Structure formats: structure tokens, C-alpha cells
Structure 1
């Protein structure tokens, strides 16, 4: 389902649309899920949970695991069917008078707010500023603010202090940290902060662990916010296999594996940046912190189609408010894949 805005942005276009029904064997650089996931040990844990499917899901153990992972009490944790469900719950459960979304970023928050009948205000970050957020750009009267960190699709990691400066009594500050576990050391995360008024942190387990089809994420917030969101959820919103995955991914060995993966992504991103720097007609938004890069180039739509002919799917970025027809997003992959992509992109540009 599309949600076009007055300025023509399709808020419901996502990377999976670039490869769905493609009719060709494409190297997928449009979706930001880490390759070769889920790992075998995680698949085994999920599979083992299938023997209990006759019982209704019981999320208590998974909730305790998430709470312990972030040093919070369990009443400050809500498990959701991916971060996308959390945006719907926030839009429906919170009575915001002036909801404000910082763009360019993941478009589902604005789509969910619009679907719930809210009139959404935008703060659009500028390329000239490196798509970095100045807290002063957010109106004081904004009582619900949504911002991504690191931000999809710009790959910008906003300093934690800048985001913390947005928190104030009477305002709900929603920080989407869906890609934070791909940042070494999770630098910039607010997930452990309990002192900031109105702070809501969203996390997803689908990107690092390859669980997009399972749908599992969670919300970290004050108990009264968690209670309000919980009342807006249907009964048993998270399946037993997804609960098993959430518990497993919060264990120390899993956290250590995620940190190693984040370091690998950082090295692979540096390699891709070096390859793209050799292409004079391509500008990349830097510094980048996520497992993806935002590229500006002339006639991006035509280049995207030529890349498909050369076997690569990348994500169109003109559907993000604040961006236009000169932008593409590409996922960070291993070095061999990045080398092949850089060669294909050079050919596509020449075309």
C-alpha cells in the first residue's frame, strides 16, 4: 500500500520492493539485512521453539532478557512485531498535538502518524550540513519528535548529546535505533538512559540477525509509556519463535557476535567508500556509520535501471522526504561484492 504525500513522496516504498518479483537473479543491495543470517545457532533456537506452538506465546523470559541487556526493569520494555509495529502503536496510543518527524529518515513513522489522523510536521535536514541535526531546528512546541540514529538512509550517526538535548517535560522523544547494533560499541545509543524525560528508544533485531521475516523488535521507555503502548497492542502480538529469537539475541555470546559483525561492517564500509571515491560522478554522504551508504549522482533512476541489467538491486531514495531524483542507497556488503558493484556502477554511469 502506498502513502503518497502532497509533495509526491511514497512513504510506503521500502527496499524489498526493489527485489520483489524481480524476475532476475539480482545481488540485493537494496535491503539492509546482514547477509548470511540468521546464523545456524539462532536458527536452531528458533526451530526448537516450534515444539511449543500449541501454547500461547509467553513473552516474560524474552522481556527479562531485553531488560537485562539494557540495564532496565522489565516494566520499561515492550516487545513488538518489529520496529514498524512500534511506530503504529505510538501513533495510535499517544495524543500528540504537534508530531514532528526529522527527515530524511525511515518513512514508516510519518506514514503511521498520518494513518492515525495526525497532521505531521517535518524538520528536513540539509545536504549542505551533512544531514546532521541541529537540536535548535526542532520547534519547541513539538510534543512528539521522531529521529533515527544512525539514520536511514543517510547513515549519519547523531551525537548522543544532541539527541538528549531534545528531551524535555511534556515531549515524547522517539529515537529509532534499528541499526545501532551495527555501530561498533553502539556509540551514540540512548538505550540505557533512564534520566531523560519522555525518551522512547526503538530497537530491531531483524537487521543484524536476518530476521525480517520473523518480525521482532522492542521499545524501551518509562513504565507509563510502555503501559499505554501495551494497551494499544492486540493480545499475543509477538510469536513464540520471535520471542525465542529475542531471548537468544540478548545473551552475552550473541552480543559479542554482533559486536564482531559491527567491526566487520565498518571495515567493509571503508573499502566500499574507497572504491566509490574513484568514481568522479558519485558523491557519498560521509561520515557514514550504518550498514548502508547514501549516494548522489545524476539521473539516478536511469543508473538504477542499468544496475539491474548488470545484476544489482539498489534502493531508490527519492521516496524519502528531503531527497530527490539524484539519490540512491546501497547496502554495505563484503569486499568482493563491493568490488563487483563498483565495477557495475562505473559501467552504469558510462551508459
Structure 2
């Protein structure tokens, strides 16, 4: 694992949604298919009757606090996780910011847009986290868990070990609800100096609604809230956040995560049996794999009607990497058949 300071040498603003369209089967975007579920869509639709009133975030904030055993003062509701990264980049004034890669590129993009230099800590073999590799003088560290695009779940102890006096550690847990029981989440523990960012986009199919939140020390939450536009989170998004934080919704997500794990492991085993390197111990809703001429394979798959996520726009990966979303068994088998036709 090495620390690097680099210019914008990759397209940090390239995301999976740019890969889809034109009737392509979507294996590029990590949003659960068949969502939002009917009960959630109905709740959101009902909220439209209240659009004349300004949004009231208090019920949703309390629901998130209960879901994670926090106080409401430790919760900031945001227009998706992306807004949380922008707020943190604008409010914090790090002397040295470090981003652990490969990971979701928006945190680094937000830091750079706010004028901060970024040291990249590039993970080594199997993308496991070594806290000692982060520069000692980094006073802001951003890391994903489980990480997009590698699907690696870091031990909570390793992530918590990044914390130290004078340092803020931001943990992107957007895919943590893909992990049954969330054993490595820091949301309920929230050690000093740790900020946890969560998203409802992936599990609940709310990418177009923009619904997320962060958990942090009340003082930092207050500072971030001051920088946030008034009424930044819409009434429909607030209703969704409240609904998805309820015990029945959490139980539903847990059941889906268990089903996902079975199909993800099966798909990983199929790809590995073909001689491909699949990042081991995947725990999120996608797989990261290395294949020679991945960009060429991606282009051939598009010709056959399938969209997958290119890996070369993630610092620390390159042109021989792809990220593939895990779908249902039938869809996954269809993709495997096409890959077989391509000699993979």
C-alpha cells in the first residue's frame, strides 16, 4: 500500500450510470433491481400531497437516530451521500487530506473541487487496509467500507485504528446494508473523530430521489448543517429516509442482504472457475475482477446488450479491471453465457 499525491489523471466524475442506456442489460449500476418496493413507492407518492409545506426533517432525523442508537444531534440528513462529501470538503480545512483507493471517486472529487490537495493511499494485494500506511500527518482520511469498487469489507477495528487526535476519518458505508448484520459498521459505535456516511440509494432504489445521511459528533454536525442549504432534503426524500429506517424496513434489507450473499458468492465462484481474478471475500452488491483487455471486453459486451462498469476510472485499478453488479440468478446466468461466448 503506497501513498501518492497525484493530479487528476483519471475521470473522477465517471460513474456507472454513464455506462447504461439504449436497452442494455444493466450490470454497471449498483442499485438493487426491482426497487423501490411497492410499499415504499406508495409512501413516497402519498408525500406529494404535502409539497406545499416546507420539509420538516425532524421525524426522519429521529428515525435515523433510533435505527443506529444515536442521538438526533449526531445525525445530518443529506441529499444523498454525495452531498455529504461536498459539505465535508467545504467545511473541513485539512492540512493534508488522504483518500484510500480504490474507492468511490466522489470524495476525492469533492475535496479537489473545494481546493484541497489529496494524497492517494493505494491499497496493495487484495485491497486490504493497513492503517499504518496512511500518512501520519494526514488530518482528514476518507475510506469506503465495504469499498466500491472492490467489494472488500474492512474490519471495524482496522478502520477505527485510523482515528487519532486531530484527525477526522470519514467512512463511506453506502453499501454496509449489503452485509447481513453489519458487523463491521461504525454507525452504532461512532468512535471519536469518525464520520459515517450512509446512503439509501443502493438497497432501496432511490438514486433519483437523493436520500442519505451522515453520523458524526454533534459539533461537526452543527457546522455542516450551517453550510447546508435550507431545506436541502425534499419532503419525499425525508419520508423515504424515515420509512427505510424503521425496524420492518431494516429487517427487509437484512433478508435481501442474505439472499444477495448467496448469489454473489455463486457468481464469484463461476468467474473464478474460468481463471479470472475476482477480488476475494466480496461483501457488497458487486464484484471486481481483473481480465486482460477489460475495456475491449466491455465494448464487446455492449455489442451483445450488456453494460458493465469500467475500472480504469478508479485510482489504483486500470484498463484490465471491471466491476459487475450482482443481479438475480437468471440475469447473472445470461451474462455468464455471453462471457462464455466471448471466450471468458
TM tier, shorter chain? over 0.9
Partner SS for 1:314: strand
CA deviations 1:110-131 (Å, max 9, x no partner) are 00000000000110001xx210
**Counterpart check, 1:92 vs 2:90:** yes
Under a length normalisation based on structure 1, what TM-score does the superposition of the two structures give? Answer: 0.95
CA distance in 2, matches of 1:314, 1:279: 18
Within 5 Å, which residues of 2 pair with 1:340-351?
Answer: 340-349=334-343
CA distance in 2, matches of 1:80, 1:169: 27
CA deviations 1:30-80 (Å, max 9, x no partner) are 000000000000001101111000001010000000001001110000000
- Contact 1:279 1:346 (8 Å CA) reproduced: no
CA deviations 1:19-38 (Å, max 9, x no partner) are 1xx33x21100000000000
After TM superposition, give the deviation of residue 232 of structure 1 in Å. Answer: 1.0
Within 5 Å, which residues of 2 pair with 1:257-272?
Answer: 257-272=252-267
CA deviations 1:186-229 (Å, max 9, x no partner) are 121000114x2211000000100000000000000000110111
The residue that corresponds to 2:249 in the other structure is 254
Q: 1:292 aligns with which of 286, 293, 318?
A: 286
Q: Which runs of 5+ in 1 are unaligned?
A: none
Which shows bigger deviation, 338-347 or 230-239?
338-347
The residue that corresponds to 2:175 in the other structure is 179
Partner SS for 1:184: coil
Within 5 Å, which residues of 2 pair with 1:1-351?
Answer: 6=7, 8-19=9-20, 22-23=21-22, 25-126=23-124, 129-194=125-190, 196-280=191-275, 282-349=276-343
Under a length normalisation based on structure 2, what TM-score does the superposition of the two structures give? Answer: 0.97
After TM superposition, give the deviation of residue 7 of structure 1 in Å. Answer: 5.9
Aligned length: 339
CA distance in 2, matches of 1:81, 1:96: 24
- Contact 1:30 1:330 (8 Å CA) reproduced: yes
CA deviations 1:92-118 (Å, max 9, x no partner) are 001111010000000000000000000
Partner SS for 2:289: strand
RMSD: 1.0
Q: Which runs of 5+ in 2 are unaligned?
A: 1-5
